[in-house]
Structure 1
Amino acid sequence: MIKTLSKIIVATILVASSLSAADADNSKYKFNINSLIGFEGTYSNFDYERTEAGVLTEREKVSLNGGGLKIGAESQNYRFFLAARVYDAGEFDYARTYGVELQYKFNFSKFANMYIGVNFGKADMRFVDTKNGHDNTVMIDDTYLGGDVGFNVHLGKHVDWEIGARVMSLNTSKTDAGATYNFDNLVTGYTSIIFKYKMD
């Protein structure tokens, strides 16, 4: 996964360099590329099931608040982000995600646009189950794949307000002390402030 992300980062830098060179050209083939940095607040739900000897003994929904940082670039119709997020919830000692997001923008108005996209990356979590006399700890260190949809409102030439929904699918199982924990989807509502700027 780290090798894949490294290749993506290198490819992004190369593409950005070529686009900057094209932008410096005074020909008609100029590109309008913005660099982006965003600060995000999130509210998420996370489901898990606990089974012992193949018998379902518990089904729970966990709520997590979180925050994140994402950096990227956008053209007229596309956005690309590298994102890191942390989450806070009682059942998790820690919960973090790191990933890549690619989005397509529908520019239906000069005041706002809609986007849909895909995301993938890595989830790094430590889950502690102390309910009903349990004392189990499971580590999640797996990849996720998902999608998101939302709206950008242009607050100014260099600032967007973003509101959206995201799904990250883990579909992973972990076992501790004879109990198996099945983790499904991390479903998130989020809002972000996106700052746009051009790099020379």
Structure 2
Amino acid sequence: MAKTLSKLAVATILVASSLSAAPADNSKYRFNTNSLIGLEGTYSNFDYERVKIGDATVREKVSLKGGGLKIGAESNNYRFFLSARMYDAGEFEYARTYGVELQYLFNFSNFANMYLGVNFGKADMKFVDTKNGHNNTVTIDDTYLGGDVGFNVHLGKQVDWEIGARFMRLNTSKTDAGATYNLDHIVTGYTSIIFKYQMD
């Protein structure tokens, strides 16, 4: 173990020395970085299961429309966002998510790239179940974890059009009026306009 750590330390020092010795402006290791601001429109499906003694277990699907704002940064192969989104549906008094997305970019052409990533954050929702004679209220304040996949089309040097799909798993349970709600996941299709700029 000590020998491995020693070799790793020596290799790190050698790489750091070669990077510091190269001219900053001409270094092939220098990343092409951009700051990002995105405006997003979404359409989501939200699944839950209602379990109540004496009633049949019912699985329901709720559709949500939404919009969001995300800010972040990208290098040649990585992209990072902080995001906030609001959703609208009749069954919700309010529905919001706040999260982080980290994505890897596959640059397969000059006019577009593909991304694959992970997301995590917090869901803040108040859900009212009035189906089949129920009048139950479920408040959600839990974390989610999921993934993203999609494509960016480069409309110009400073603008991308993004289209993708997002999966967010809640995996939590809430109880109201003797009914237990098993909240499963949110599946989202979305499109965004991403504005890119470089900070001095």
Using the size of structure 1 for normalisation, the TM-score is 0.85
Displaced runs of 4+ in structure 1, greater than 6 A?
none
Instruction: Give me the whole-angstrom Cα distance separating, in 1, the residues matched to 2:82 and 2:55.
Output: 40
Cα deviations by residue, 1:100-159 (Å, 9 ceiling, x for unpaired): 000000000000000000000000000001122211101000000000100000000000
AA partner of residue 192 (structure 1):
S
SS of residue paired to 1:132: helix
Map 1:1-20 → 2, pairs under 5 A = none
Specify the alignment match of 1:199 in structure 2. Answer: 199
AA partner of residue 48 (structure 1):
Y
Q: CA deviation at 1:27?
A: 4.7
Q: Kindly indicate whether residue 182 of structure 2 is the aligned counterpart of residue 182 of structure 1.
A: yes
Specify the alignment match of 2:115 in structure 1. Answer: 115
Residues 50 and 116 (structure 1), Cα distance of their counterparts in 2 relative to 1, 3 Å cut: same
Q: CA deviation at 1:199?
A: 0.5
Q: Is the 8 A contact 1:152 1:163 kept in 2?
A: yes
Q: CA deviation at 1:31?
A: 2.4
Specify the alignment match of 2:25 in structure 1. Answer: 26
Bigger radius of gyration, 1 or 2?
A: 2
Q: Is the 8 A contact 1:49 1:56 kept in 2?
A: no
CA-based RMSD = 1.4
SS of residue paired to 1:108: coil
AA partner of residue 37 (structure 1):
I
Instruction: Give me the whole-angstrom Cα distance separating, in 2, the residues matched to 1:94 and 1:179.
Output: 21
Give the aligned length: 177
Instruction: Give me the whole-angstrom Cα distance separating, in 1, the residues matched to 2:56 and 2:102.
Output: 37
Q: Which runs of 5+ in 2 are unaligned?
A: 1-22
Instruction: Give me the whole-angstrom Cα distance separating, in 2, the residues matched to 1:54 and 1:142.
Output: 28
Map 1:43-122 → 2, pairs under 5 A = 43-53=43-53, 56-122=56-122
Q: CA deviation at 1:47?
A: 0.9
Specify the alignment match of 2:4 in structure 1. Answer: none
Q: Which runs of 5+ in 1 are unaligned?
A: 1-23
Percent identity over the alignment is: 82
Specify the alignment match of 2:173 in structure 1. Answer: 173
